[in-house]
Amino acid sequence: MDVYDAVTSRRAVREFTDRPVPRRTLDRVLTAAAWAPSASNLQPWHAYVVTGEPLAELKKRACERVAAGDPFDEPEYQQYPPALKSPYRDRRSAFGEQRYGALGIPRDDLEARHRAAIANWDCFGASTALFCYLDREMGPAQWSDVGMYLQTVMLLCRDEGLHTCTQMAWAKCHRTVADILSPPTDLTLFCGMSIGYESTPAPRTGRAPLTETLTYVG
């Protein structure tokens, strides 16, 4: 697949079939993704790929606790600044409008939004999940390295006919994830990523005009 096609066809997919992803396909993607760049070649990512019974158990435990209204785990990092300023606040609310509008959920129906959000912890039906950890001593540059690794995984998935959804939602239940994966205690969970085959295509999320995010000088 052409790189431009991989970039432009990647979307956060939130409806997957339960078709399993062959292990050799995952191996190809994850072997190539290890070539993602990182400052001083630290390679600060620690990925766990979970399928089958362990993933079914993790989805069950996480969905049950969120549906029961249990409080989320104490955050290990700040997902967004506490007072998100413009234009970021506006982009976030436009995204929420589009996402929940497509599901027919009105803006003020927080309970329906909560119910829809629970699909996060079912990996939107996907058969495979990747959980991405990094050492809790790492700083902003290494978090950025991890982002490059994740994007590399997502683009390679496109070449294999797979779709993905990166999910910080999983960090809200990091203890439930740790109960299944038993990661070393010096690691912190950045996010999960659902991986699989798309069932129902959803509309693309838009982007800000380039004039807002790009400046040419010279």
Ligand X SMILES: Cc1cc2nc3c(=O)[nH]c(=O)nc-3n(C[C@H](O)[C@H](O)[C@H](O)COP(=O)(O)O)c2cc1C
Q: How far is the CB of 14 from ligand X (least distance, A)?
A: 6
- Residues 165, 12: contact at Cβ < 8 Å? yes
Nearer to ligand X, 128 or 166 (CB): 166
Q: How far is the CB of 52 from ligand X (least distance, A)?
A: 23
Q: Is 143 one of the binding residues for ligand X (CB under 6 A)? A: no
For residue 30, CA distances in Å to 2, 49, 72, 121, 216 come to 19, 10, 30, 23, 35
Q: Which residue has the tokens 């007072």?
A: 83
Taking CB under 6 A as the rule, which mask of x and - marks residues 103-122 in contact with ligand X? -----------------x--
Nearer to ligand X, 11 or 115 (CB): 11
The angle at the Cα of 16, spanning 14 to 22, to the nearest 5 degrees, equals: 130
Q: How far is the CB of 165 from ligand X (least distance, A)?
A: 6
DSSP 151: H
Q: Is 194 one of the binding residues for ligand X (CB under 6 A)? A: no
Q: Is 205 one of the binding residues for ligand X (CB under 6 A)? A: yes
Q: Which stretch binds ligand X (CB under 6 A): 11-19, 24-32, 127-135, 180-188?
A: 11-19
Q: Single out the residue of 29, 130, 169, 187 in contact with ligand X (rule: CB under 6 A).
A: 169
Helix (H, G, I), strand (E, B) or coil at 145: helix
Q: How far is the CB of 192 from ligand X (least distance, A)?
A: 8
- C-alpha 191: how far from chain center: 6
Helix (H, G, I), strand (E, B) or coil at 194: strand
- Please state the length of the chain: 218
Q: Is 95 one of the binding residues for ligand X (CB under 6 A)? A: yes
Q: Single out the residue of 6, 9, 11, 199 in contact with ligand X (rule: CB under 6 A).
A: 11
Residue partners of 177: CB distance under 8 A and separation at least 6: 58, 62, 131, 170, 189, 192
Q: Which helix or strand (DSSP H or E) is residue 34 part of?
A: none
Q: How far is the CB of 114 from ligand X (least distance, A)?
A: 13
- Residues 51, 20: contact at Cβ < 8 Å? yes
Residue type, 123: C
Q: Single out the residue of 94, 118, 168, 180 in contact with ligand X (rule: CB under 6 A).
A: 168
Nearer to ligand X, 21 or 124 (CB): 124
Q: What are the residues binding ligand X (CB under 6 A)?
A: 11-12, 14, 95, 120, 165-169, 191, 205
